[in-house]
């Protein structure tokens, strides 16, 4: 199974900051990498698919890049509603579908 590792596990930031979250795959997944945002008590929400494509309705302050084994999600100018947990997920080799362990983004 392909393992997904995110870093950091948590980080604190302020409104207006630029933050970057990293996801590494245990083997190449090409561009078969998605990013999700989850708020407490809610289901995950798709932000980015195919490593860098913005899902419909997602603000353009969310950007992502990468291919192969290394990927990043960047939020430019954090907004209050962006404080949440973020997950990466590979769909290169399924089943099984595998997710990263999550990065919790907290208000500083």
Partner 1 sequence: QVQLQQSGPGLVKPSQTLSLTCAISGDSVSSNSAAWYWIRQSPSRGLEWLGRTYYRSKWYNDYAVSVKSRITINPDTSKNQLSLQLNSMTPEDTAVYYCARVETLGRGVAAFDFWGQGTMVTVSS
Please tell me whether residue 32 binds partner 1 under the rule CB under 8 A: yes
**Nearest to 103, CA basis, from 53, 47, 50, 58:** 47
Question: Closer CB to partner 1, residue 5 or residue 17?
Answer: 5
- Contact between 83 and 99 under an 8 Å Cβ cutoff? The reply is no
Least distance in Å: CB of 16 to partner 1?
29
Instruction: Indicate which single residue of 23, 82, 102, 103 sits in contact with partner 1 (rule: CB under 8 A).
Output: 102
- Contact between 62 and 75 under an 8 Å Cβ cutoff? The reply is yes
Least distance in Å: CB of 64 to partner 1?
12
CA distances from 53 to 46, 61, 79 (A): 11, 13, 20
Which residues are at the interface with partner 1 (CB under 8 A)?
Answer: 31-32, 34, 36, 42-46, 49-51, 53, 55, 87, 89, 91, 94-99, 101-102
């Amino acid at each position: 199974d392909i393992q997904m590792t995110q870093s950091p596990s948590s980080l604190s930031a302020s409104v207006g900051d630029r933050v970057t979250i990293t996801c590494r795959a245990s083997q190449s997944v090409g561009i078969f990498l998605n990013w999700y945002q989850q708020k407490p008590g809610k289901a995950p929400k798709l932000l980015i698919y195919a490593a860098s494509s913005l899902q419909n309705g997602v603000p353009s302050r969310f950007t992502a890049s990468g291919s192969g084994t290394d990927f990043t999600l960047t939020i430019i100018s954090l907004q209050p509603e962006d404080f949440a947990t973020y997950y990466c997920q590979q769909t290169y080799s399924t089943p099984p579908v595998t997710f990263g362990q999550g990065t919790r983004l907290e208000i500083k």
